[in-house]
Amino acid sequence: MQKRLTRSYHKSLLGVCGGISEYLNPQMDPVFARIAWVVLSFINPLMVVLYFVLAIIMPEPDYRYHSGY
């Protein structure tokens, strides 16, 4: 199965950071991606705009293959 960047099932806000962390390393905790995003947002406020752009562009996860929590 081809690896695909989608939003995550494990959402805090819109699932963007969770989806990025699952794409980069499936064993990585999404909290690390969220913390990195917050730090980068303080450095460059355009990261907030990028977050919402990614939320619009990234597709929803395929719930047919989700096994549950």
pLDDT at 63: 66
User: pLDDT tens for residues 7-36?
Assistant: 887 778 898 998 998 889 888 888 999 999
Q: Which residues of 25-42 are buried (b: 16+ CB within 10 A; e: fewer)?
A: eeeeebeebbeebeeeee
Measured between alpha carbons, how far apart are the two ends of the chain, in Å? 21
For residue 6, the model assigns a pLDDT of 87
- Is 16 in contact with 9 (CB distance < 8 Å)? no
More confident residue, 46 or 29: 46
Q: What is the pLDDT of residue 66?
A: 56
pLDDT given at position 68: 52
